[in-house]
Amino acid sequence: MSRASIPDEQRLIAALDIPSGAEARDLVRELGDSVSFYKVGLELFTAADGFAVVDWLSGQGKQVFVDLKFFDVPATVARAVKQLQVRNITFATVHGNDAIMRAAAEASGDVGILAVTVLTSLDSADMRDLGFDCDIAALVRSRASRALALGCAGVVASGQEAAVLRNTLGERGVIVTPGIRPGQHDDDQKRTVTPTQALRDGADYLVVGRPIRDADSPKAAADEIQAEIRSALAP
């Protein structure tokens, strides 16, 4: 997939980090044509109707990103990924070593596999606590290069590493960036960037949750982000 081939309006992925299918559907209806791409993560998927929401979104003409971060025995991951096929799912995430990424990519069919690099809620101190005494940018660069070599469609990475990744990968691979914050924030995301910075540094898609979900007017918030995306990508 070429960066230029992605329509501007599809670059915003609204995260449905919501505890029930009914609330998710209400938000999607409220957002209307302001958002055409949605992320379904662990919270919503484990609310007992994850696939029902995925199928409903597809029926509404929306693109779907299933963010379950598969991490298990490679054969188990492969079987789980196969369950996502033929459901009109654009992306799904894996979070593991080379064997896990390869198994997911080989079983992906029509689903684009995204390898998680380093969660945007983690900083250098957190990584040391996990036993990774290394530079985050170097780790992200290494994981991304290996993910593409193993057949993944791209990676999930903080916008703070987008420029390093794009310089390393060139035009290969999709960079999906969570932790997008249009303005000031006070939450658990530590490595955040604005939509403009992420896109200009090389991100292809922006995952936005709380700034839309918790806004006084979610639709207005989404429209503002879409306007910023268009401005950032204007020639």
Active centre residues (catalytic): 69
Q: Which residue has the tokens 């994850």?
A: 50
Closest CA to 1 of 175, 216, 213, 191: 175
Residues 120 and 192 sit within 8 Å (Cβ to Cβ): yes
Both tokens assigned to 125: 């101190």
Burial status of residue 151 (CB atoms within 10 A of its CB: 0-12, 13-18, 19 or more): middle
Instruction: Compute the distance between CA of residue 132 and CA of residue 217 in angstroms, rounded to an integer.
Output: 41
Both tokens assigned to 152: 């993944």
CA dihedral 43, 47, 52, 58 (to 10 degrees): -20
Instruction: Compute the distance between CA of residue 223 and CA of residue 220 in angstroms, rounded to an integer.
Output: 5
Instruction: Compute the distance between CA of residue 116 and CA of residue 70 in angstroms, rounded to an integer.
Output: 10
Residues in the chain: 235
